[in-house]
Amino acid sequence: MNIKSLYKFLSPKFQTIHLEYKVNPIPRFGWGKPAHEELYKTINSNRSVYSDLLKYYLQYKNVFRGIKTADIETNEDIIAWNNGHLPGLDIIALYSLLNYFKPEKYIEVGSGNSTKVAHKSIKENNLKTIITSIDPFPRANIDHLANNVIRKPFEDIDYNFIFELKENDILFIDNSHRALPNSDVTVFFLEILHKLNPGVIVHIHDIYLPYDYPNFMTERFYSEQYLLACYLLSNKDRFEVISPNFFISEDPELKEILNDVWQSKELTNVEKHGGSFWMKVK
């Protein structure tokens, strides 16, 4: 047992789960193996939409070139590259899609860097979007950047106001990533996602589909994307995938579209991949 594992075992901050048999947490798809065949076909089939949106993002290239890296940015209210949580393509997509859809409401479950991006886009593009932040412990001091704050675990709140979201409104999910009894992930997938109104834009973070979680993440035992995969495999007509950012990051043709942004000397050392998964409810 290394020092990090020992700390997690002893610290009251962490919770230990005991299984009656051992699990070998290794990727089954991607990472040296083929992608999940059906998921790849489903996601790849909408690549023309991804391409069009990536080209739309290019109009904000001067905005993105003006963002500093975290080691330089001193204003805690301003989003920075290499922040440790929200990688480059995800910042670009969130900033751009807010202006693309111009939602009346933007609800995020899990706050911090995403709140900074949303606030920046709303302010700079003169949007009237209302930010609601749901997070018991945001990763940054962002209460003053949101219009409404709920500092409780998602599974403990009265979430019925989410069903008031209309076409082009955004529900941004970046939570615990684990489907467990009474976890925020379980609540979202079993009680909310299938009830959302048509036209609502849904975002889920740390999604690698059509690939499995990477090796370096397997010991975290994330399981969220497996539930999402079940949705996509069993009911392809319920959701339209519009921006699967990790898929885009791994696709040479698609990721090349943003070269005009990334080739700027200011962004030489910026992490350029993404983990956001955007889709529209049909």
Domain harbouring 86, CATH code: 3.40.50.150
- Count Cα atoms within 13 angstroms, Cβ side, for 109: 23
β-bridge mates for residue 170, sequence order: 106, 201
User: Quick one: pLDDT band at residue 12, thresholds 50, 70, 90?
Assistant: confident
Element (H, E) at 259: helix 259-262
Q: Assess contact for 170 and 203: CB atoms under 8 A.
A: yes
Centre a 10 Å sphere on the Cβ of residue 108 and count the other Cβ atoms it contains: 26
Residue 202 is classified by DSSP as E
Task: Extract the tokens encoding 272.
Answer: 């350029």
Q: Assess contact for 99 and 125: CB atoms under 8 A.
A: yes
β-bridge mates for residue 173, sequence order: 109, 204
- Inside any domain, residue 13: no
pLDDT at 257 over 80: yes
- Inside any domain, residue 7: no
pLDDT at 168: 99
> CA distances (Å), 118 to each of 41, 82, 93, in order?
31, 17, 11
User: Quick one: pLDDT band at residue 9, thresholds 50, 70, 90?
Assistant: low
Residue type, 249: S
- Inside any domain, residue 14: no
- Inside any domain, residue 131: yes
pLDDT 10s digits, 114-169 = 999 999 999 999 999 999 999 999 989 999 999 999 999 999 999 999 999 999 99
Task: Extract the tokens encoding 52.
Answer: 């069009």
The mean pLDDT of 174-190, rounded to a whole number, is: 97
Residue 192 is classified by DSSP as I
Our count of domains for the chain comes to 1
> CA distances (Å), 250 to each of 117, 211, 280, in order?
24, 10, 22
How far apart are the C-alpha atoms of 279 and 243, rounded to whole Å? 7
Q: Assess contact for 210 and 45: CB atoms under 8 A.
A: no
Tracing tokens 């089954």 back to the chain, one arrives at: 28
The mean pLDDT of 246-271, rounded to a whole number, is: 95
The mean pLDDT of 183-206, rounded to a whole number, is: 98
Using DSSP's 3-state secondary structure scheme, residue 26 falls into coil
- Inside any domain, residue 5: no
- Inside any domain, residue 6: no
User: Quick one: pLDDT band at residue 1, thresholds 50, 70, 90?
Assistant: low
How far apart are the C-alpha atoms of 254 and 231, rounded to whole Å? 25
pLDDT at 6 over 90: no
- Inside any domain, residue 22: no
- Inside any domain, residue 73: yes
Residues in the chain: 282
How far apart are the C-alpha atoms of 152 and 134, rounded to whole Å? 7
The mean pLDDT of 14-43, rounded to a whole number, is: 93
β-bridge mates for residue 81, sequence order: 69
The mean pLDDT of 26-55, rounded to a whole number, is: 98
β-bridge mates for residue 244, sequence order: 277
Question: Would the pTM of this model clear 0.85, i.e. be above it?
Answer: yes
pLDDT 10s digits, 214-250 = 999 998 999 999 999 999 999 989 999 999 999 999 9
Tracing tokens 């051992």 back to the chain, one arrives at: 22
Q: Which domain holds residue 241?
A: 33-281
Residue type, 260: D
What's the whole-number average pLDDT of the chain? 96
Query: In the chain, what percentage of residues exceed pLDDT 90?
Result: 89
Query: Comparing C-alpha atoms, which of 185, 164, 180, 113 is closest to residue 142?
Result: 113
